Structure 1
């Protein structure tokens, strides 16, 4: 049966198939003309890149994941052993444009940890330039990138990309879909090392995010509980405001 019977009264939703995702719009269809098209991940279709992907179910509100991947400074604490990236200690530059909020931080002649150095074929600890940037581009997707440049010549030596996609299940659980790509270190063995490191590192995020959710859920004050923010939380706060604006549009 290609279509359900009329008596089934099944609601349909607009979708867009755009590799690597299928996007579904669950909002008010009368407001669909105001909704921007899904963001395009050009690198996911670039033959210079090899991809690694995975999925996790996390017992936490999806916004906690979004705030986590907008905060580079957590790497030196949560991922000190797995990723070994300990030099993201200062808040980056933040800016917002419409319903997108972004960050950028350039590290100059900073020693490369093994997870970055080995795929580039250079010794771990080599001073290198890294340009780190990313964006909250929609309530469903965030993008992150790292460009590696030779500090002497300025030549681009490698590109690393990540997409974080979230689908809420309810207020305290989510599906998390991640996609990683790079244009170097593309042998099957190197990609398996990346996959294994990603699984281990993101499991550390899961523990931390679920602990935060558990703390929030136990607090009898609920949304009225006080919250302390620092400069590094700028992008996360802007992301919350963007989501709230979309929610406000839906209830009008």
Structure 2
């Protein structure tokens, strides 16, 4: 069961090319994305209303798409405008359309009630294309439920154990408890680790005179959007007071989009504001993040396999789980709210 009335990231802008048809399953629904001749993005249900064939294996004809099973043609509003050998087209011959907004290199899609789709509620991720920041686009496909990945992103204690040579640090990094606050639609995490070693990925791209003061502040909001201010500065230079002297700063932008109950699209960028004229630094930071996220995928995939062997297993909460527990509570509350708002006939279906 997925939250419907929210904005999901459907794709990076570069994935939906001019003249091409791009298919992706989002919250269990097949979606076709393509660009109109003017460059705007169209999102249709990737399922012909006639026999259910995927339109994504069809043919572009201007701003329309022709199903290559029986030749029905649909315009960008999802309306069937041509049916070979049939002059009268049934008025109900349509495929569903979805609101889409392209912003800061991400294409956002609304899978629920289109009348509620307010672009002003899309989270700000401007660092992804801000000229004062540099990053590369990332995407990973997971064969796990998206909430297990949410758990991982809300948990710092795993970093020195799963990522000892990438994003992690010494094991004392796991002992520092973050401040967890509930915010509208999610949680806010504040975490300081003072007088610690720079993690390997940061040590590889910047010279440090010694130990560092390290921070991680982020909002994690529905459906599963992480926006993080993280970084480190030489120890004792006033970072806690807001003076980021000779610091390495990052603005992580991550989005989890459920594909199905047991698979997930993971979009991410890790913008930095130092050495922005050195592409090799950007590539090194990006690769360190990719390597770390691959490490996450390995352990979370193994976790899901284990959980699937015993559907009755109940995880035992620890104090380190405060953030992920609060986020799961927020998700459940939103799901219950949407369920209450459904027509009775749909709820009983």
Q: Same fold (TM over 0.5)?
A: yes
Deviation digits for residues 131-184 of structure 1, max 9, x if unmatched?
A: 211121221311222132343432312311212211111111111111111011
CA RMSD across the alignment: 2.1
- The change in CA–CA distance for 1:32 and 1:195 in structure 2 (over 3 A counts) is closer
The answer to whether the 8 A contact 2:254-2:269 is kept is yes
Which aligned pairs between 1:67-106 and structure 2 lie closer than 5 A? Answer: 67-86=151-170, 87-89=172-174, 90-106=176-192
Count how many residue pairs are aligned between Structure 1 and Structure 2.
246
Match of 1:129 in 2: 213
Where do 5+ consecutive residues of structure 2 fail to align?
1-61, 64-74, 82-89, 341-349
Match of 1:27 in 2: 112
Q: Could you tell me which of 167, 172, 176 is aligned with 2:262?
A: 172
Q: Could you tell me which of 95, 102, 105 is aligned with 1:17?
A: 102
**Are positions 1:228 and 2:316 aligned together?**
yes
Higher relative contact order (CA 8 A, sep 6+): 1
SS in 1 for 2:194: strand
Give the deviation of 1:31 after TM superposition: 4.6
The answer to whether the 8 A contact 1:27-1:250 is kept is no
Give the deviation of 1:114 after TM superposition: 3.3
Match of 1:107 in 2: 193
The answer to whether the 8 A contact 1:120-1:184 is kept is no
Q: Return the TM-score normalized by structure 2.
A: 0.65
Q: State how far apart, in whole Å, the 2-side matches of 1:47 and 1:32 are.
A: 29
Match of 2:344 in 1: none
SS in 2 for 1:169: strand
Q: Could you tell me which of 214, 235, 249 is aligned with 1:159?
A: 249
Q: State how far apart, in whole Å, the 1-side matches of 2:237 and 2:145 are.
A: 44
Q: State how far apart, in whole Å, the 1-side matches of 2:95 and 2:165 are.
A: 49
Where do 5+ consecutive residues of structure 1 fail to align?
none
Match of 2:130 in 1: 46
Who wins on radius of gyration, i.e. which is larger? 2
Give the deviation of 1:45 after TM superposition: 3.4
Q: State how far apart, in whole Å, the 1-side matches of 2:115 and 2:128 are.
A: 31
Give the deviation of 1:32 after TM superposition: 4.4
SS in 2 for 1:178: strand
Match of 1:5 in 2: 80
| Shift >4 Å, 4+ stretches | 30-33
**Are positions 1:119 and 2:205 aligned together?**
yes
